[in-house]
Chain A
Amino acid sequence: MATSNNADSAAEALLAEAEAAGAEDFEAPDRYRSFRWRAVAAGVGVLLLVALLAVSGWLVWQHKQAVQREERATEFATAARQGVVNLMSLNFNNAQEDLQRVIDSTTGTFRQDFEKSKNDFASVMNESKVVATSEVKATAVESVDDNSAVVLVAAASQVANAASLQPTPRAWRLSVTVQQEIDGIKMSKVEFVP
């Protein structure tokens, strides 16, 4: 502003007059200080608000991640459970379908092995007249990474066959590796834990 220079010199002149007249000190410094204090307080307030909102956002994000992790683990466990049930529920009367259902729950070399030996399995089933039903008693996800997990499965099955017409109960301890594929989560490895 063109007037600023005028303002300064006028202020100085008035200040000189006031001092000459023995007046009290020019009050501008107090006003300045009062204004400055309020500006600082407002600034700090806004900064604090922004900081709190940022922390809140971060906390929300962290929680979302935690929930996602848990949901993912549950997905893997459910897939492992279903896979094991499919694997251990075999009825020789339904051999082809049952085996196909097993194959559909698998992936990788595990699947390839099944596919290769499908007919052999079918013959064995027919010969032994196996009727097996199974139930998964418990699952627990041992480890997870981006698109696979290792799930411990405790299962129980009732197996009846030509040798033993009465179903005999059997308990299984399995370590099932599951993997995310395009069409769902499939078993890529099933190990019996000795």
Chain B
Amino acid sequence: MSADQDQADTTKYDVASEASEEGSAEASTTAAAESTEASTVATDTAAVSDEAVTPGEDAADADATVVAESDAEIGPVLTERSGKATKIAAAALAVLLVAAAGLTGYLYFFQYRTDQKTDAAAQQTALKAAGDGTVAVLSYAPESLDKDLDTAKSHLTGDFLKYYDDFSTNVVRPAVKQKEVQTEAKVIRSAVSEMQPDKAVVLVFVNQQTVSKDRAEPALSASSVSVTVDNVNGNWLISSFDPI
């Protein structure tokens, strides 16, 4: 264990410092002798326990090496080489941690978050926005024309907004004023054709019912529209409206 090895180094030096600190003459002489003893013992990890019980060693020596040994049970007495190994292991762990954190971060931000923005729930949101916008664009009545046109515009963005602005002013308004055109749209079926985090293309099957002063009988039309919606600050707004 690397922690042990580090511990072993300090053990060796501490035994020596202990020796100098102890006040008792008896303790210091034996401790002084033992500190050198401990140093020689320190070079041999595996044999420490064996050496302690070798007959012939005097009791004090045995004590010192055994003291070194009791510390050795906390951490074996080892050389400087082990200390370096500890540092390399710690550095390797740190590098691996940084790499793993980087990998996790990359996967989360560039894959998981992106996938979330294009998952079924996100698609439903885009789908609903496309449907609501389509209905708004294709529904208006003479009595509520201003409100209807404003409502429609609130679902639009970009080039299509500009186009619709012109179109509603130059074509719709006059038609409604003169012919009292009234139309209502309904989405029959719709689904997402393409999905990206900030843009979706939706296929909408829309039925429209139109009446006018000239014709009280509603005219029915069934069409398909490819609606492109852009994600603008969390809102999906129609940026392109292409009847098929």
Does residue B222 face the partner (Cβ distance < 8 Å to A)? yes
- Report the minimal beta-carbon distance from B224 to chain A, rounded to whole angstroms: 4
Q: How far is the CA of A38 from the CA of B87 in the complex (A)?
A: 11
Asked if B66 and A6 sit within 8 Å, CB to CB, the answer is: yes
Interface flags for A23-51 (1: CB within 8 Å of B; 0: not) read 11001100110111011001001101100
CB neighbours (8 Å) of A156 from chain B are 244
Given contact pairs A7-B70, A14-B67, A31-B7, A52 touches B101 in the complex (Cβ within 8 A):
yes
- Report the minimal beta-carbon distance from A158 to chain B, rounded to whole angstroms: 15
Asked if B193 and A138 sit within 8 Å, CB to CB, the answer is: yes
Asked if B96 and A49 sit within 8 Å, CB to CB, the answer is: yes
Asked if B104 and A59 sit within 8 Å, CB to CB, the answer is: yes
Interface 9-residue window, one of B19-27, B153-161, B174-182: B19-27
Which residues of A in the span 48-74 have a Cβ within 8 Å of any Cβ on B?
48-49, 52-53, 55-56, 59-60, 62-63, 66
Asked if A60 and B22 sit within 8 Å, CB to CB, the answer is: no
CB neighbours (8 Å) of B209 from chain A are none
Does residue B75 face the partner (Cβ distance < 8 Å to A)? yes
Given contact pairs A18-B27, A23-B21, A56-B100, A171 touches B63 in the complex (Cβ within 8 A):
no
A34 CB contact (under 8 Å) in B10, B18, B24:
B10
CB neighbours (8 Å) of A175 from chain B are 189
Q: Report how many residues on chain B are interfacial, defined by Cβ distance under 8 Å.
A: 60
Asked if B24 and A21 sit within 8 Å, CB to CB, the answer is: yes
Q: How far is the CA of A27 from the CA of B222 in the complex (A)?
A: 90
Given contact pairs A63-B107, A140-B203, A35 touches B74 in the complex (Cβ within 8 A):
yes
Q: How large is the interface on A (under 10, 10 to 19, 20 to 34, 35 or more residues)?
A: 35 or more
Q: How far is the CA of A121 from the CA of B226 in the complex (A)?
A: 33
Does residue B202 face the partner (Cβ distance < 8 Å to A)? yes
Does residue A163 face the partner (Cβ distance < 8 Å to B)? no
Asked if A140 and B73 sit within 8 Å, CB to CB, the answer is: no
CB neighbours (8 Å) of A171 from chain B are 223-224, 244
Q: How far is the CA of A140 from the CA of B194 in the complex (A)?
A: 8
Asked if B112 and A63 sit within 8 Å, CB to CB, the answer is: yes
**Chain A residues proximal to chain B, CB less than 8 Å:** 1-4, 6-8, 10-11, 13-14, 17-18, 20-24, 27-28, 31-32, 34-36, 38-39, 42, 45-46, 48-49, 52-53, 55-56, 59-60, 62-63, 66, 137-142, 151-152, 154, 156, 171, 173, 175, 193-194
**Chain B residues proximal to chain A, CB less than 8 Å:** 1-4, 6-7, 10-11, 14, 18, 21-24, 26-27, 49, 52-53, 62-63, 66-67, 69-71, 73-75, 89-90, 93-94, 96-97, 100-101, 103-104, 107-108, 111-112, 115, 118-119, 188-193, 202-203, 205, 222-224, 226, 244
What are the 10 tightest A-B residue pairs by CB atom distance, in nearest-first order? A140-B191, A140-B203, A52-B100, A21-B24, A154-B224, A7-B70, A142-B191, A59-B107, A21-B23, A66-B115
